[in-house]
């Protein structure tokens, strides 16, 4: 009887805690008044644009290259114009969203943000350096999120203590918000917490992504997380089938499109993701798991060495 009462009390405390976190998360997500996005490439620009349209918050868009900022903003205007032409939004709404995008080449301009999302290339040291700086620049309440598709969140969170190894408080505010590409179209977003991530940070990230109109899925901090743990071996195996002559390019893509009802085949999808990105993720999966099933295709390596990276370079499995 006593054991039953104790179990009931423990359950009540747990339920109260979950409710507290849920309530706190919703409030904190609503209090995100300014977002920071680092990286004006396809992913970063997409995240910034969705935040401006859906959450209607000012977005400080940071990139070290002014040319990248100019290119990204031009692309944003193109997307907004397309939405206006298709009557998805009004011209006034498009103008309001564009006005909320505030470009800068200085990471120091992120000092007033409540939430920041890093979306730079999958280069570990680059991300570690950024998060070390964010820990010093951003307010102590700000959530520091990464859009990484493969690098362990625990390692990224640990980088926030680089400037001051004795202060580990910043690492509790680090989480991953891994958006799917293209961000304005895809509803999915993967939320991953590191070993140091607090429950409040995780819950607030989930709630904020819902505010952006996304449908979150939660993953453990494991190599490849959920999306790439499943997707990349599928793409890699399709490349191996091409490499070994099991099928030609068009047959491989056609059977998956027409047989599984996906919008594009694995080789075309690889081109859109970027073959260098696919290779980087496969290398992480292979190294971190030690499992030979994640060994990158020889053809994939060779195409990256040749500079045939897919759509962004004009040539991959297809010509663009």
How many whole angstroms separate alpha carbon 178 and alpha carbon 182? 12
* Catalytic annotation, pick one of 172, 219, 228, 236: 228
* Catalytic annotation, pick one of 150, 190, 193, 236: 190
Cα distance between the two ends of the chain? 71
210 is annotated as contributing to ligand binding: no
256 is annotated as contributing to ligand binding: no
213 is annotated as contributing to ligand binding: no
Please say whether the beta carbons of 119 and 43 come within 8 A: yes
How many whole angstroms separate alpha carbon 315 and alpha carbon 320? 6
Instruction: Note if 92 is an active site residue.
Output: no
Residue listed under structure tokens 């040539």:
315
The neighbouring-strand residues paired with 175 are 145, 193
Three-state secondary structure call for residue 37: strand
* Centroid of chain to Cα 26: 21
111 is annotated as contributing to ligand binding: no
User: Quick one: residue 307, left, alpha or beta (phi over 0 = left, psi -120 to 50 = alpha)?
Assistant: left
122 is annotated as contributing to ligand binding: yes
Instruction: Note if 228 is an active site residue.
Output: yes
290 is annotated as contributing to ligand binding: no
In the chain, beta strands by DSSP E: 35-38, 59-62, 101-104, 115-118, 143-146, 174-179, 188-193, 215-219
Judging by DSSP bridges, how do beta strands 188-193 and 174-179 pair with one another? antiparallel
* Catalytic annotation, pick one of 149, 150, 176, 193: 149
Instruction: Note if 190 is an active site residue.
Output: yes
* Catalytic annotation, pick one of 172, 178, 219, 236: 178
Instruction: Note if 286 is an active site residue.
Output: no
Closest CA to 76 of 208, 182, 190, 214: 182
224 is annotated as contributing to ligand binding: no
237 is annotated as contributing to ligand binding: no
311 is annotated as contributing to ligand binding: no
133 is annotated as contributing to ligand binding: no
Task: Indicate which residues carry an active-site annotation.
Answer: 149, 178, 190, 228
Q: Which positions make up the binding site for NAD(+)?
A: 39-44, 63, 122, 127, 149, 181, 312
Give the residue numbers of the binding site. 39-44, 63, 122, 127, 149, 181, 312
């Amino acid at each position: 009887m006593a054991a039953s009462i104790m179990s009931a009390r423990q359950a009540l405390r747990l339920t109260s805690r979950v409710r507290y976190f849920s309530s706190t998360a919703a409030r904190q997500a609503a209090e995100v008044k300014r977002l920071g996005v680092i990286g004006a490439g396809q992913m970063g620009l997409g995240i910034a644009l969705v935040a401006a349209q859906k959450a209607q918050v000012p977005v400080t868009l940071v990139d070290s290259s002014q040319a990248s900022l100019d290119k990204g903003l031009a692309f944003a205007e193109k997307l907004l114009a397309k939405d206006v032409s298709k009557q998805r939004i009004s011209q006034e709404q498009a103008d309001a969203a564009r006005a909320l995008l505030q470009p800068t080449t200085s990471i120091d301009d992120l000092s007033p943000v409540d939430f920041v999302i890093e979306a730079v290339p999958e280069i570990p040291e680059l991300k570690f350096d950024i998060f070390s700086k964010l820990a010093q620049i951003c307010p102590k309440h700000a959530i520091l999120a990464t859009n990484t598709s493969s690098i362990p969140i625990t390692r990224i969170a640990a980088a926030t203590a680089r400037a001051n190894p004795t202060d580990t408080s910043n690492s509790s505010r680090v989480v991953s918000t891994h958006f799917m590409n293209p961000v304005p179209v895809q509803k999915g977003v993967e939320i991953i917490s590191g070993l140091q991530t607090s429950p409040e940070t995780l819950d607030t990230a989930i709630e904020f992504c819902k505010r952006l109109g996304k449908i979150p899925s939660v993953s453990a901090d494991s190599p490849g997380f959920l999306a790439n743990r499943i997707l990349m071996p599928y793409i890699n195996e399709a490349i191996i089938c091409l490499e070994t002559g099991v099928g030609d390019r068009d047959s491989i893509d056609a059977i998956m499109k027409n047989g599984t009802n996906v919008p594009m085949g694995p080789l075309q999808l690889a081109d859109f993701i970027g073959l260098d990105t696919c290779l980087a993720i496969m290398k992480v999966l292979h190294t971190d798991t030690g499992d030979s099933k994640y060994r990158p295709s020889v053809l994939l390596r060779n195409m990256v060495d040749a500079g045939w990276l897919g759509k962004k370079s004009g040539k991959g499995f297809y010509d663009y």
